[in-house]
Structure 1
Amino acid sequence: MKNFVDAKWLNDNLEDVVVIDARYDVHDAEYGDSVYEKDHISGAFYLHIDRDLAGKKGTHGGSRPVPDINDFISKIEEIGIDNSTMVVIYDDSIIAAGRVFWMLKYLGHDKVVILDGGYKSWLNAGYPVTDLVPEKNNKKTFEKNVKKDLCCDMDYVKANKDKDFASLVECRSYERYLGKNEPLYPKAGHIPGAICIDSKSLLDENLKIKDREELENIFKSIKNKRDIIFSCGSGVNAALVFVALDEIGKKGKIYIGGFSDWISYDENPVEIKDGH
């Protein structure tokens, strides 16, 4: 697995990497801060999905637009990340970690991996944790090389989603895709023409990424497409699917505004299916 490391690897290399804790709960904005303050991997810095990894929410643009690039770069420089730094990200279920992974890739940083199995895998291995917050005393300089092809907007989605060479992939749960359940947004369903690959379907019972053969099977209907666009509610679930596709050697892009941006325009249709 090129984008994932296990707990043993991280423990063996802890002194040579910068670790980012990205735990969060979509229904509890304070969850990540509180669990990080309680305990975390030694030396890990906390980044919050909404405060650090998303910009200010507006009328359009989705619930978690890309943050101001210079502000984000300042934050990663403060915690010791430059272009040569190996970065390891973890959260509870490795889904939020995908957003950090994607942000760093978007800025042109290649040396980034996710702790497979998340924080629980670290605890299960018996490695130590701490409540000490590391000092930001190793400021580095990061030179951005923005990869604009890893991101797209609504106009791009509209222009390309129904083309033969493209595939629009909804990464929220199948229930939300069908429109049977929508806990976060005023409209239910999905962008017309999208297929569904639930981000959680990429993980096994231990919240570890499935092996390459299983991933190949999950992506078999889209892996020959030239343009693969991932969408979810706000660019978090989609980021993990982006990482998983990269595992089998294919590149995709994220409609970062996602369904929350799409439905902010009253004229945009949504599709609901009965699931049969």
Structure 2
Amino acid sequence: MATAIRRLLTAAVLLAAAAAAPARAGTLPPLVDVAWLEARLGDPALLILDVRGPLDGEDVVPFERAHIPGSVHTDYLKDGWRTTVEGVPFVLPPVDRLEVLLGDLGIDETRTVVVVPYGSTSTGFGTAARVYWTLRVLGHDAVTILDGGFLTWRADPARPVETGPSVPEPALFEAKPRLDWVVDTREVERALRDDAALLVDARPEDQYAGRTVKPGVQAAGHIPGALNLPESVFFVPGSGRLKPVRELAALVPGTVRGFAGPIITYCNTGHWAATLWFVMHELLGMEDVRLYDASMVGWAADPKRPVERAVPASG
């Protein structure tokens, strides 16, 4: 009987996720396949934003050598998608600076943005997820991610590619910010004090447990009370391609899916955490999911803030 009830609850969660995710942006799903993009190639309302870079690994093909026709390239590490605020690196820049960045890339309210990761690693997908999250935080909801990225596009040699640099036509981007999706350190401290939110750590288990520490993070371990859900579990092994939505839903623990309050994702720099936010909020339709962009780099910058190293017992 208990098993049957669990199956019914799981089915209900999957149905709810399937219904909720597409509804967040009307008819535009948060993740599209190459057939969707191929059918719309050349549409002047479409802006294809290629975000490949060093985080995709050493074997990445440079944008200038091959990219989807009409693509615009942005350098995630150099163009200003993240900045340093009050000594904490990699956080969301001020809105006015992001308006300039997006306008320089040719993005305005008339354009539907397709974010294209390279497709080789989950960390590379994290770049696309962070860019996507930034656009949504700024109120630009006409945005989606190409499932499998450029490598999936390139898998069929019949699909066209272009060479050379991108030359975007500047536009005027006016933000309509929803900054409640962005969590700062003070809010995390308050959430811990009041037991008002559930923290979910997107890092590998060895970093969560404090056995290893990423350079730049000043303390080993995790924020007290946080659950560990490594972003890598959501991907087809050895790739930057997400597993099917039904499998993604099954990978999110019931304690997370059923939490009644805000869910805050974090990692080391707010990069992997963007993937968790994307999966839970956009694909699974979980409503109140927020991102702590300062993450462990920001949290551990003050040695007075608590850090746990023990791994909670499962079950």
TM-score (normalised: structure 2):
0.78
Distance 2:312 2:197 in 1: 23
Residue in structure 2 matching 1:171, options 202, 206, 209: 202
Distance 1:26 1:60 in 2: 23
Check whether the contact 2:82–2:91 (CA below 8 A) recurs between aligned residues.
yes
Distance 1:25 1:180 in 2: 26
Q: How does 1:232-247 map to 2 (within 5 A)?
A: 232-246=267-281, 247=283
1:256 matched residue in structure 2:
293
CA displacement at 1:243 relative to structure 2: 0.9
Q: Which amino acid aligns with 2:302?
A: Y
CA displacement at 1:27 relative to structure 2: 9.6
> Residue 257 of structure 2 aligns to a residue in which SS?
coil
Q: How does 1:37-186 map to 2 (within 5 A)?
A: 37-57=64-84, 60-61=87-88, 63-92=89-118, 93=121, 94-126=125-157, 127-137=159-169, 139-161=170-192, 163=194, 166-185=197-216, 186=218
2:265 matched residue in structure 1:
230
CA displacement at 1:231 relative to structure 2: 0.5
CA displacement at 1:47 relative to structure 2: 1.9
Check whether the contact 1:52–1:67 (CA below 8 A) recurs between aligned residues.
no
1:215 matched residue in structure 2:
248
CA displacement at 1:83 relative to structure 2: 1.3
1:25 matched residue in structure 2:
54
RMSD: 2.4
Distance 1:18 1:161 in 2: 41
Distance 1:173 1:134 in 2: 35
Number of corresponding residues: 272
CA displacement at 1:210 relative to structure 2: 2.3
CA displacement at 1:257 relative to structure 2: 0.4
Check whether the contact 2:80–2:101 (CA below 8 A) recurs between aligned residues.
no
1:201 matched residue in structure 2:
233
Q: Which amino acid aligns with 1:110?
A: D
Distance 2:293 2:219 in 1: 18
CA displacement at 1:207 relative to structure 2: 3.0
Distance 1:22 1:116 in 2: 13
Structure possessing the higher radius of gyration over alpha carbons: 2
Distance 2:59 2:140 in 1: 28
Bigger helix fraction: 2
Q: Which amino acid aligns with 1:273?
A: A
> Residue 253 of structure 1 aligns to a residue in which SS?
strand
> Residue 54 of structure 2 aligns to a residue in which SS?
coil
CA displacement at 1:163 relative to structure 2: 5.0
Q: Which amino acid aligns with 2:182?
A: C
Distance 1:163 1:84, change over 3 A: farther
**Alignment gaps of 5+ in structure 2:** 1-21, 23-28
Distance 2:265 2:100 in 1: 28
**Alignment gaps of 5+ in structure 1:** none
CA displacement at 1:209 relative to structure 2: 2.1
Check whether the contact 1:116–1:208 (CA below 8 A) recurs between aligned residues.
yes
Q: Quick one: percent identity of the two aligned structures?
A: 26
What do residues 202-250 of structure 1 show as CA deviations (whole Å, max 9, x unaligned)?
1223532222322222223212222000101111111111111121111
User: More displaced, 236-245 or 179-188?
Assistant: 179-188
2:12 matched residue in structure 1:
none
